[in-house]
Structure formats: C-alpha cells, structure tokens
Amino acid sequence: MGNKTVVNYFGGTTKKLTNADLKNLKLIHKNKLRDEFQYIIDYGEKGRSSVLLSQRFVNVSIIEVDMSNDNPDEASQKFIELDHIFKPLPDLPKAFKTVVTKGIAGIGKTVLVQKLTYDWATGAALREYDFIFRIPFRDLSLLSTEKNEISLPDLVKWYYPHIKNCESILANESIRSMFIFDGLSDGELNIDFNRSIVCRDVNTAVSPATLLINLIKGQLVPSATIWITTRPGTRNDIPDVYITRMTEINGFKDQDKEDYFRMRCKENHLAERMIQVVKKHRSLFFMCKVPAFCSTLFTVLEAVLSSAGNDEVPQTLTDVYSQFLIYLIVYQQEKHEHVKGGMRAYILKSKRDSVFALGKLTFEMSSKDSTQPVIFTEEELKENKIDLSLVCGGLCKEISMNNGQTNYAFVHLAIQEYFAALYIFLSFYNEKKNPYGKHFKLFDKLSYSEIYKEAFENAVKGKKECGEFFIRFLSGLGTKKSQELLKGFLTDDKAKDDSKKIAKYLKKILQMNIPPKQTIHILHCLNELNDISALNDIKAAFKSGTFTSGTLSPAQCSALALFLQMSEMNYQELDLSVYKLPTAGIQRLLLIANYFTEIKLSGANIRDAGVKILSDVMKSQDCKLQNLKLDGNNLTHKSCEQLAEILNINDNIIFLDLSDNNLQDNGISSLCGALENENCALKILRVCGNKLTPSCSENLASMIKTNKTLVELNLSNNRIGEEGLKQVCEALKTENCKLQKLGLNSIFEFDFGIMGTYEDAPGIENLCSLLKDKNCTLQSLGLAKNGLTGKSCSELISSLKINQSLKELDLSFNNLKNEGIDELSTFLGEPSCKLYSLKMENTKLTSDSCEKLSSVFKTNQTLTELDLSMNELGKKGLKILFSQCASDCKLQKLGLSKTGLTDISSTDFKSTFAKLQMLMHLDLSHNKFTNKSISSFQDFILDSKTLRTIRVEKNHFTTDQYKNLVELEKKRNDLRVIVSKMEKNQ
C-alpha cells in the first residue's frame, strides 16, 4: 500500500504514515480496547469480581435535552437509541461536534461509555471513527497534579502507550477521532472558558484543562468529536454555545428493571421472586430506574431471599443500603470464617470502629464538595484505622495510579452519601457529638432531629447541588427500624425515635412556596421516615376531586406525579379534566401518563404543546396507554401530525377522542394516513365538532376501505355535505370493512343536518342505500338533530326492514311527528326488527303517538333500551305508554328525564312499571316531583328487585328527602340512587 500524505493542523507537515501502518495501528488499538472493556467489575455479596459486559449490560433510556429548556421535569422527551447519540439529524448534515451526556450518580454513564467503546472495538457501532480515546476526568485531574503541562499526543500516549506516531494521527484531517472524557463531575480541573489560552498546535504543551477547552472549542483537532459525561450539577461548567447536543440518561425503563434481575440471577425462580418483591413495593420499583441502586438491591435481596426464614425485605432506600452494608460485612465473614448467623451482632460490633472511621473520613472529605467522589489513599485508611477488608469487600473500587499506588473510591456516590449520613447518626448516638460543630453540654436538649434540621438547612443553602441521597439517608436513619437494624454499630440500645419530629419539620417546609424539585425531595424524605401522610393527603384530594376548587400549583403537580408513580395502587385512569392546570403542571403530569391505560384531558386546554409532550411519552416502550380523551383542548392539525406518528408505531392505542377541537380537514387527513398503516390498532375514533368539510371525505373514504381495525367512527357535528356522506357510505360497502358504529349526529337540530342540506334532502338516500347493502356491518347509527321528518323516517324504516345488522339507532331531536313515530312503532312490533336500543329524545311525542308506541311492548322481544326524554308525556302519556306491556317485556333501561312528570304520576309507579320486570336503570331526573312523592318513590324502589340505578336529580325534593332517598342504598347493596352533590350536601 502507498503512503498517506499528512497535512498538519498548525500549518506544517509531519512524518508520513503509510496506510498499512495506519491499518495495523487501528487493529492494535481496537484489540487493546476490546480486551480492556469486555469485562465489567461486579461488586456484590461475593466481593469484587469480573463479569463479561454482555452478561451485565441492560439498555438504559437516553433522551434528547432541549438546552433552551434544560429541565428534565419540563423537557419534551425525545428518546435516542444508544448508537445514535452521534449520528446527525436528517435536517443537520454534519455530525455532532461536542456531545454532553448528563445523569445522576449511578445512572450508568461510565458503563454506557464502556459499552459504546467496546462496540466500536468489535465493529458493532461507530464505524465512522478511526480512533476512540477514552480518558476519565479523574485521571486527567491526577495528571494535572503530576505534570502542570502536557501536549495532546503525550496525553494520548500517557494513557495509550501502544499508540505510535500519535502526532501524525492527530494532525491528519482525514482521520476521524473521538475523545471521550468520562465523569466531568469526578475531576477537579479548573475549567474556565473565558480565560483559557488558544492552542492550535497539537505538539504544544499546556495544562490538561487548556487541552480540554481547546478540543471542545474546535481550535485543536477540529475534526474530532468530543463526548463528555457529567452529573447535572457540573453540566453548566461548559457553556451552551460549545455544546452541539445535550443528552440525558433516564435510567432503566420498567421492562429493563425486570430484565436486570433476570440477567443477574442464575436461578430463574429466585429472579422472579425478586421481581415480585420489588414490584410489590412500588417505591423500590420506582428507584430501580437507577442501575446502581438495582445492583445494590439485588445484593440485598439475594441474601435475604436465599436465607430460610428471613423476611427482612427492605422497603425504603435507607433500608436497602443499611442491609447492603450488613450483608457485605456479615456474609463475607461467614463465608471466610464459617461464623454462624446468630453471631451477626458480634460481627457488626467488631467492625463498629472501622465503619465509624470510614464514615467520618467520608463526611469530612465530602463536606468540601458533596458532588465530588472522595478518593482514599492507603495511607489515609491506615492513619484512620480503617480495615482494608471493609473497603475492598464491595463498598469501594480500586484506582491504580501510574506510580504504582492504589487509591480507593466508593463504587457509586449513593454509598458515599450513605456513609456520610451514617457518620452523623453514629456520632450523635455513640459519641454524643454534633458533627456540624455544636457539642452537647449537661442538660442540653439537642436531639437527632435538631442535627437533622441543621444538615437540611446546610444542604439547601449550599451553592452546588447537594447530595440528594445524603438527606434521604439522614431521614431514614432517624427511624426506630434503622436503629434496630444497625444496633450492632450502636453503643446505646436505648436510642430515641425522632422520626415524628423530623416529619413534622419537613411537612412545615412543604407548606411553603418552595421549588418543585425540593417538593419531590421532601416527599422522598418523608417516605424514608415511613410517613406517607403527605402522599395520602394528595391521594385523597386526587380521588375526591378536592383540587377542583382551585388551580394546582406546579409543586402540587410534581407531588401528585410522584405519588402516582410510587403508589402501589393500580390506577387505570388518569383524569386531569377536572383540574385547573398551569402549563408547567400539565407538563409534569403528562410525563407520567405512560403509567396508566387511560388518560382523560377533556377541556384541559393542553393545546398542541401538550400533545407534543404526550406524544413523546407515548413513544416509550413502557407506555401502557390505550385510551386517550383529548376533546375540547384547542388542538389543531399539528397535534394530528404528532398523534399520527404515534399511531404508526404504538399498537397499544385503541381509543382516541379528539372531539370539539379545531383539527379541520388537514388534521383528519393526517389521521387517515396513519389509520391506513397496517401497524395502527385504533378501534375507536371520535372527531366530532372539528370543522370538517366535504374536502376531507375522499381521505375518510380511502381510510375506511383500507383500515382493518376501526369499529367506531364518530363524525358528528361536522358538515361533510351530501357528497361527503355519499363517499363515506360507498366506502362502508367495502367487503372487508369492519366499522360497526357510525356517528352522524348534528348540532343544528331542525334546520341544518350532517349532510349540510335542508329537510328531506336526498342525503338520507345514501344512508338507506348503505343499510340495504349486503356488506353493511353497521350495528349502531347516530342521526340526532338531522332535520329528519316523517317522510325521511319512512325511507329509513324501509331500509331497516332489509338490514340484518343494525342494533342501535339514535333519532333524537328530529321532528318525526306522528306519521314517523307511527311507522316506526309498527316496525318495532314486527318479528324482523333487530333493534335493541332506540333513542327518541325530543321527537315531539304526543298522547296519540304514545298509544301507537305502547303496542310495541305487546310483542317486541329485542328492545332493551328506550330513551324518551325531553318529550312532554305527563301522567296521561306515561300511563298510556306502558298500558299494553307484556309480562315478558325485555326493557332494561328507560329514559324519562324532562318529561313533565309530577306527583300525580308517582302514585301509579307500581302499576305503571309493574310489568317491566327486567328494568335495571331508570332516569326520572329533571321532572317536577316534590316531597309528596317520597313515600311512593321509596316503596317502588324497595319493591323493585331488578332496579340497580335510578336518577332523581333536579326534581323539587328538599335536601333531607334527597338524603332519605340516598339512604335506601344501605338497605340494598346493589342499588345506586343518583342525586347531585349539591342536593346531597346542601
């Protein structure tokens, strides 16, 4: 192979590198990285061990973060595949220059780096890069103390000695390199983008911080990609202007959590038992989104569930880490020294001084900066009389230095924060000291709760992001359970439980105007104290609708979201339609929508922005949503585009209500396109009142012909016109059409119908033609408020005599008159009639038409539901209606709301409804009954053995009499008497 000309970035030339040399060097480098990263260090009950990465790695959820709104609570979540982090977007031809990935401690940043680097080394990912150089920030910080200045080639060779001709590689524009700086928050570099000198020469020696800044700015090796991982607290050390993509690791999804336990546990039955235990304790399952916590919890559960008769299953974060510490100490010693289980207290007591000393050293070192991991030298451990076996038994990992020295750091920050909190706990109970400076004096009343307050206030006042787990551990250690669990470390068995005082203090803060994140933090602390009263208050208010009296604050929304995530109750429906939600509150609650199978947002005014958030959530594999009610939200065609994308990929969604929005023809066209996709599983679509015109009918017809799943389509309150109706009806004649329910109700009543034409328009002919067609599958048809008259009713009935599928018909608010009702009554009495539900609200029934309709109940054996509400029946009409009723009448549901019934009618209840022996649901609301009818109502209700529901609201009863009627429910467990809240509680 020939030589490759090298163009130097700083204007000169350097030694030529042959293609063969380059290929060989890449192979050597990949082999080195593959060997280095194919194993992952495992810390568990059995101590430190090496396990294949492929046997431990479970995918974590990664999201795109909008830097203009860099808040994970409010960010619209766009999920990114692991190997797509660096791939350019369709509208961005260039690859990303500098990518920052943030995530809390233990969320999997370093393992993610290891996985991608290993995948590159094996050729499974990132093939577009010739070289990848991973340099941990911790090593970079140590280097800065050993050498004040270093060139980039020397830095690479210092970490990768096998890289020869490093200057040639870095100076060659055609060679693509990636520099990975892992753990910005782990280092102590003084990164100042405003004061850094410019460095364009790869051979110039500068400080490690200067090298990093110039790489990020693109002044050094402009073609290189830079990937930086960091915790959220130090993410702002790099100005946004130099970041081309911000991502965040969200941790495990629900299925990933289960997969992790199955992967870790070799015994299937034990793995399933672990999953069962974790899912039962919802708070533990919620916290398992953090892989490091999963690892710790696995170690604890493996020991607990494998021990016969051991039922100490942890329920809080503090429980988990306390038991983790105990099992590392006890079980390691049992394994090596064959100590019996009954010696646990003795073993813990023998380690008391080491545990205390390690906690003290951790507290003192982390007090300087709680966001930084502490690093112990062997000398420091010896000076503080800390047993090395305690450190190496699974709590810490070794950090090998170039000078041959071995340092130690906790395997993740949560254990570090646990030891800092444990020191405060032990210092108070064993040493009678306050680590924050105050000392006990005789008759001093200082308590653990007082120290806790001081710690909490210090954490809140801190400039940098405080150790969140530290305060949670400090909370949990204040309980009696923790004291019992850790009594082997205590010198005084008579420790006082201060959990109630701490809880009282936290609840007081909760009432203040505090940031949403702090609200969540306090609720977590209360959970550690086993005090869920605050969450229960939220739950009670949520279930009772207490929040409806005012707007939920963003903090309340955050608290409600936390409760819903951690609740062990199985909520099927999330109903947010009754709340007055601020925009920020909607966003926080929508982010947990995937926990539910149904979400109701009727009239919540979420607009297109809310649907964008909801759509991003629905892209998650964990999404359980099946039913979406988004009616009355001022949505436009933009929302339809978002939802169409979801319908193409999420086959869980089966119900979508978009009624009373502003979708218009463009919106419905987008939805139709999605419904034609074979992946779409939608069964019910409601788009009533969306300003649809005949222009969308072609798309509707095409969708109906193609779709194989839709069984209900509601087009009510739109003006698709006669031609539009014709196209829809023709599509419904398609042989494989599955549609069973069609809504064509109108809002225009006697004037202007669904067909956009006046009374007796030929639009009815299209419907009749459909109903007569052999391929018609319609079982339910809504034609309310369509200006139908006796003549159009006659045509409709003629087609129903031929039709063999229709079971439900809504003719409400049509001027059928006696002519139409008489013909309809005749049809209902014929054996060929298949209708079991007929709605005839406000159809101008008269006494004469009641006489004709009553004959139906002599012979009809199919009708189970009849709604005659809003017809002025009065006593005479009601009595006539059921005068000819046969003893085997099948009627189960009867609507008589707003029919002008008075006390006189109530005297005949027994005789009127005597033969309706299957009647289960009766609506007598909005009539003129008074207290004089109460005894008749009570007798009728108690005597009717089949009645399950009776509506009596909006009559003229007094509050006491309404209460008397409701009291009847106590005499019959299967009965429900419905009145309004005002009538019941006035």
Least confident of 274-283, 290-299, 402-411: 402-411
Residue 675 domain flag: no
Residues 233 and 371 grouped into a single domain: no
What pLDDT score was predicted for residue 1?
A: 34
Least confident of 79-93, 202-216, 456-470: 456-470
Domain boundary among the residues 198, 218, 251 is at 251
Q: Which residue in this structure is represented by tokens 């000393």? A: 357
pTM of the entire predicted model: 0.65
Residues 230 and 354 grouped into a single domain: no
pLDDT in tens, 520-557: 788 888 888 888 776 676 666 666 655 554 566 666 67
- For residue 933, CA distances in Å to 733, 952, 964, 969 come to 52, 12, 12, 18
Least confident of 374-378, 398-402, 486-490, 572-576: 398-402
Cα of 455 vs its chain's centroid, Å: 32
Residues 71 and 206 grouped into a single domain: yes
CATH of the domain at 102: 3.40.50.300
- Could you tell me which residues come within 8 angstroms of residue 401 by beta carbon, excluding any fewer than 6 positions away? 142, 407
For the residues 25-51, what does the mean pLDDT come to? 80
DSSP three-state, residue 727 = helix
pLDDT in tens, 114-172: 999 999 999 999 999 999 999 988 778 777 655 678 899 999 998 899 987 788 888 88
pLDDT class of 809 with cuts at 50, 70, 90: very high
Task: Identify any residues that bridge with 598 across adjacent strands, giving them in sequence order.
Answer: 573, 627
Domain boundary among the residues 228, 251, 274 is at 251
pLDDT in tens, 599-610: 998 988 888 988
What pLDDT score was predicted for residue 752?
A: 46
State both tokens at 835.
């209708």
Q: Which residues of 490-525 are buried (b: 16+ CB within 10 A; e: fewer)?
A: beeeebeebbebbbebbeebbeeeeebeebbbbbbb
Residues 355 and 244 grouped into a single domain: no
State both tokens at 566.
């951690």
What pLDDT score was predicted for residue 722?
A: 85
- For residue 278, CA distances in Å to 42, 56, 290, 565, 865 come to 21, 19, 14, 14, 47
pLDDT in tens, 678-700: 889 999 999 999 999 999 999 99
pLDDT class of 3 with cuts at 50, 70, 90: very low
pLDDT class of 626 with cuts at 50, 70, 90: very high
Residues 21 and 133 grouped into a single domain: yes
Angle in degrees, CA 33, 38, 42, rounded to 5: 130
What pLDDT score was predicted for residue 743?
A: 94
Mean pLDDT over each residue of the chain, to the nearest integer = 83
Region of 466 please: left (phi>0), alpha (psi -120 to 50) or beta: beta
Residues 51 and 196 grouped into a single domain: yes
Domain boundary among the residues 455, 488, 519 is at 519
CATH of the domain at 958: 3.80.10.10
Q: In this predicted model, which residue has the larger pLDDT, 784 or 341? A: 784
Residues 71 and 207 grouped into a single domain: yes
What pLDDT score was predicted for residue 14?
A: 46
Residue 266 domain flag: no
For the residues 879-894, what does the mean pLDDT come to? 87
Per-residue pLDDT for 621 more than 80?
Answer: no
What pLDDT score was predicted for residue 567?
A: 63
Domain count, the chain: 3
DSSP three-state, residue 43 = strand
- For residue 12, CA distances in Å to 165, 171, 222 come to 16, 10, 16
Pick from 175-184, 496-505, 873-882 the range whose average pLDDT is largest. 175-184
Residue 588 domain flag: no
Least confident of 576-585, 883-892, 964-973: 576-585
Residues 243 and 355 grouped into a single domain: no
Residues 111 and 232 grouped into a single domain: yes
Residue 667 domain flag: no
Residues 244 and 386 grouped into a single domain: no
Which is it for the CA torsion 2, 8, 11, 13, positive or negative?
negative
DSSP three-state, residue 294 = helix
Q: In this predicted model, which residue has the larger pLDDT, 106 or 808? A: 808
pLDDT class of 333 with cuts at 50, 70, 90: low
Domain carrying residue 35: 17-251
Residue ranges in 367-447 assigned as alpha helix (H): 378-383, 388-390, 413-431
What pLDDT score was predicted for residue 2?
A: 39
Per-residue pLDDT for 502 more than 70?
Answer: yes
For the residues 55-83, what does the mean pLDDT come to? 71
DSSP three-state, residue 7 = strand
